[in-house]
Amino acid sequence: GENVEQHPSTLSVQEGDSAVIKCTYSDSASNYFPWYKQELGKRPQLIIDIRSNVGEKKDQRIAVTLNKTAKHFSLHITETQPEDSAVYFCAAISSGGYNKLIFGAGTRLAVHP
């Protein structure tokens, strides 16, 4: 069935370091991959997304790369700050259409000052 695996489950970095979170997906027809940040007790917020017609997208300190052949995509955060601490979820859209998102299990990122 449809599945998205996310690693690592927890990530601890020092302020200023880079953080990388990796996801793999099973449905080769998936064509949209968003990343959400969820702070404790708050809603998931979209931070960046990528569609299958591009291999990389960047927005200030955040970038996402996509390898369709290998069916994996990654989130890169550079120059991490304490406010980046949160749970990050990757997701892939189901090829069944209609915007059904399949989420990874999440990565808890802790940025230490």
Which positions touch other proteins (CB under 8 A)?
Answer: 4, 6, 32, 34, 36, 42-46, 49, 89, 91, 93-94, 96-106
Least distance in Å: CB of 77 to other proteins? Answer: 19
Alpha-carbon span 93 to 29, nearest angstrom: 9
- Among residues 19 and 92, whose Cβ is nearest to other proteins? 92
The nearer residue to other proteins, 33 or 77, going by C-beta atoms, is 33
As a whole number of angstroms, the distance between CA 86 and CA 6 comes to 15
Task: Tell me the closest approach of the beta carbon of residue 68 to other proteins, in angstroms.
Answer: 17
Interatomic CA distance for residues 59 and 49, integer angstroms: 10
Sheet of 72-77, strand order: 4-7, 19-25, 72-77, 62-67, 56-59
Nearer to other proteins, 66 or 91 (CB): 91
Quote the least distance from Cβ 66 to other proteins, whole Å: 16
CB nearer other proteins, residue 11 or residue 102: 102
Question: Residue 108 Cβ, how far from other proteins at the closest point, in Å?
Answer: 9
Q: Are strands 19-25 and 4-7 parallel, antiparallel or unpaired?
A: antiparallel
**Rounded CA gap, 35 and 22, in Å?**
11
